């Protein structure tokens, strides 16, 4: 009762309180502006992605959790904890060093190890500043559109195939022979794989190539390259005839890890490429300053001969990656790695 009385009694006071509130709000707004200006002076708000990286002193880098040796090796444990290494990791180190120099303070890379096919998604969702994992810059696929690609850091990419069956190898080589009497004529690119079971990795250039060009092959989609090997080695007769993938990765695998497999070559022994590609760093389309910056880093590495040294170091030298991981690998954010990475499996492409 008393309360209501006092409320009724307060009716006259309401306009005064309202005025006071408006005045206070007005004063606060002025104050806010001043505070904002002061903050801007001390720590300017980020105006673009490069400023944001400098301000946070962190760059979010995506990498494929599936190994793309020698660009990205499997995550490994070292004396320093979990580490990842490879040519792409070395490139990230160079970019991060340059960022630290640009920002005038140390910038830390936060590595997100995710499935290759999810890298594009995470970049578009703004979870990454950039990603790098032997990504060709010239794949005409809708899923790869709407992103920005740096200038190339690796020139000799492209799709190639491997097989462990001599009959398949001979068959393809025969199809690739120049036309002459009594010999089947040379077939253009993809047609040499007609009638064969071809394994590709989901979401990669090989899958997009197969979808667009391998109309008469039986396509087997695999979650990773190791899954393709496992599947091919488990079933010999009706399994996988050819694994299609990035040539430098396949070359590394057949010369160092899976020596029972061979690269498919032409009749004269020259390598058989299905496509040509250059590998680039992937960023958001609107990241103009970051792109200029990354392009600049790659350009300087190329100009100084460092890129070529990196290529030779990872492609040609004899080494064991655990040792390099311990010495120069980068830590990764365990929380940002897919839980219990599994190489996955292979299945027939039912969409065809």
Partner 1 sequence: MKTGTLIVTLLASGLLAWGVTDVREARAVERAEAEETARLLAKLMRAGRLVIDQNQTMIDDPHKGDKGFTPDVFEQQLIVEFRKETAIDLRTLAATPSSILIPPLAKELLPAFVLASKEVVREAQVVINQRGIGYKNFIPATYGSQAARRFTGQSHVRLKQTTLKPRNPKNEPDDYEASVLKWLSGRPNAQAYVSELTDKGRTLRVVMPIYYVKDCLKCHGEPKGEQDISGYPKEGAREGDLAGAITVTVPLNVGNR
**Which span (24-32, 89-97, 164-172, 335-343) binds partner 1, by CB under 8 A?**
335-343
Question: Is there a contact between 218 and 197 (Cβ–Cβ < 8 Å)?
Answer: yes
Residue 319 in the binding site for partner 1 (CB under 8 A) = yes
Of 51, 230, 233, 302, the one binding partner 1 (CB under 8 A) is 230
Nearer Cβ to partner 1 (136/344) = 344
Q: Contact letters (x/-) for partner 1, 113-152, by CB under 8 A?
A: ----------------------------------------
Q: Specify the pairing of strand 346-348 against strand 218-222.
A: antiparallel
Residue 235 in the binding site for partner 1 (CB under 8 A) = no
**Of 158, 79, 150, nearest in space to 293 by CA:** 150
Q: CA-to-CA distance for 343 and 235, rounded, in angstroms?
A: 17
**Of 300, 298, 340, 315, nearest in space to 91 by CA:** 298
Nearer Cβ to partner 1 (299/341) = 341
Report, in Å, the least distance between residue 112 CB and partner 1: 13
Question: Is there a contact between 325 and 177 (Cβ–Cβ < 8 Å)?
Answer: no
Could you tell me how many residues of this chain bind partner 1 (CB under 8 A)? Answer: 30
Nearer Cβ to partner 1 (36/319) = 319
C-alpha to C-alpha distances, 308 to 75, 92, 292, 303, 337, nearest whole angstrom:
25, 16, 21, 10, 30
Nearer Cβ to partner 1 (288/341) = 341
C-alpha to C-alpha distances, 5 to 8, 12, 16, 192, 264, nearest whole angstrom:
5, 13, 19, 94, 95
Residue 8 in the binding site for partner 1 (CB under 8 A) = no
Residue 334 in the binding site for partner 1 (CB under 8 A) = yes
Element of type H or E holding 53: helix 49-56
Residue 256 in the binding site for partner 1 (CB under 8 A) = no
Residues that bind partner 1 (CB under 8 A): 67, 74-82, 224, 226-227, 230, 319-326, 334, 337, 339-344
């Amino acid at each position: 009762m008393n309360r209501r009385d006092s409320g009724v009694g307060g009716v006259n006071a309401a306009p005064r309180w309202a005025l006071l509130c408006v005045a206070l709000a007005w004063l606060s707004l002025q104050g806010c502006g001043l505070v904002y200006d002061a903050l801007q002076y001390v720590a300017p708000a980020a105006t673009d992605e490069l400023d944001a990286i400098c301000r946070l002193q962190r760059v979010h880098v995506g990498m494929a959790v599936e190994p793309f040796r020698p660009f990205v090796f499997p995550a490994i444990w070292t004396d320093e904890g979990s580490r990842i290494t490879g040519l792409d990791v070395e490139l990230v180190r160079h970019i991060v060093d340059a960022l630290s120099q640009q920002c005038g303070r140390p910038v830390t890379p936060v590595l997100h190890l995710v499935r290759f096919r999810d890298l594009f998604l995470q970049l578009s969702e703004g979870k990454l500043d950039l990603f790098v994992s032997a990504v060709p810059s010239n794949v005409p696929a809708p899923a790869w559109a709407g992103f920005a690609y740096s200038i190339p850091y690796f020139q000799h990419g492209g799709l190639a195939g491997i097989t462990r069956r001599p009959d398949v190898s001979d068959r393809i080589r025969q199809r690739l022979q120049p036309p002459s009497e009594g010999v089947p004529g040379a077939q253009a690119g993809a047609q040499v794989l007609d009638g064969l079971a071809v394994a590709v990795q989901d979401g990669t250039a090989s899958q997009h190539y197969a979808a667009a060009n391998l109309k008469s092959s039986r396509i087997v989609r695999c979650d990773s390259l190791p899954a393709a090997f496992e599947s091919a080695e488990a079933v010999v007769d009706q399994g996988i005839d050819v694994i299609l993938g990035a040539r430098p990765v396949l070359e590394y695998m057949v010369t160092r890890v899976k020596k029972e497999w061979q690269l498919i070559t032409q009749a004269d022994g020259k390598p058989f490429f299905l496509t040509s590609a250059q590998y680039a760093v992937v960023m958001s389309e609107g990241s103009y300053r970051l792109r200029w910056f990354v392009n600049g880093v790659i350009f300087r590495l190329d100009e100084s001969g460092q890129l070529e040294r990196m290529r030779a170091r990872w492609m040609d030298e004899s080494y064991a990656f655990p040792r390099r991981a311990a010495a120069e690998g980068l830590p990764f954010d365990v929380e940002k790695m897919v839980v219990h990475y599994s190489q996955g499996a292979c299945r027939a492409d039912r969409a065809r």
